[in-house]
Structure 1
Amino acid sequence: MSEINMYTVSIYTENNIGLLNRISAIFQRRHINIESINSSVSEIENVSKWTIVVKLTEVRMKKVIGQIEKQVEVIKAYYHTEEETIYQESCLFKLRTNLLYDEREVQNIIKESNARIVTVNRDFFVIEKSGLKEELELLHRELNVFGIMQFTRSGRIAVTKDEMKISKMLEAFQH
């Protein structure tokens, strides 16, 4: 039996309406849970890059990539292991302002986690932290003791350690 691994999928696409539904349906039909999804501009003008994180076997991953690449708007799709990528996630925490002044431990947690304060007002303050999922989860556990008013975490953003041949291919697509 094949080993289940975490994969980061990079999909380069034209920016078209409805593509998200079709791509997510490819995962849904195979009962594959998407751990995170992020969409952004890519290094090439008018080309979007989606970063999707999933856990499955490599055999299934290859089949999914094949299905994704059959979508008309998809230029190219890749998958990489954790070891082949450099990745980060980001999160925001909203907490009561009095905690910042009354709880020395909250100040220490912020400092030790290398989080940064984004805004402070009379009622609340917001801190931002970027890092690995485990670092964000640790900060969440530490701050949760004090009461988090709101929390949100981004999907993974990633680049590969090796050169991506996509850039040359996309230059041709651009002209």
Structure 2
Amino acid sequence: MKKIIAAIFTLCFISQVQATEVAVVDFRAALLGSDIGQEAAKEPKQKIAAMDARLKQDQEALQATANDLKRDELTLSKEEFNKRRQQLAEEQNKIRAMAANMQRQAKELEQALIQSITPQGEAALKALIEERGLDLVLNRQLSLFADAEADLTNELMQRINKDN
């Protein structure tokens, strides 16, 4: 009798369990890797490259000034040496601030870029979810492990390219 009850309970329990279709996606990578993402990123990349070139130029000038100060250290008066060292420290602070500002601007440019193409990515993702009958889609960075077949990033990128 116990075996019959256990069998009935098991059958009832198994019928209640439903398979859940799960996938992972790196939405940011799919957006930026798509054709529209690559096209939209051209101008921001040029702006960042120009800022980077200016930063490198200023860093090289600062290094040359530091080398000159080191070379002239023994021939300068103590007051003149301290004055030039203070100017060098001020220039270093300016360059650090410039680098921080450049990083902030680069991040803002990327965020604006992603915001501008997110609607196309969301539409493509919704279409993939419906086609595959997915119950759950997770951000790839949040998952500890995902089988390659569960990763929709490349498929989403291709879908974005196809739809746009």
Same-fold call, TM cutoff 0.5 = no
TM-score, normalization: structure 2?
0.20
Larger radius of gyration: 2
Greater helix fraction, Structure 1 or Structure 2: 2
TM-score, normalization: structure 1?
0.19
Higher RCO (Cα < 8 Å, 6 or more apart): 2
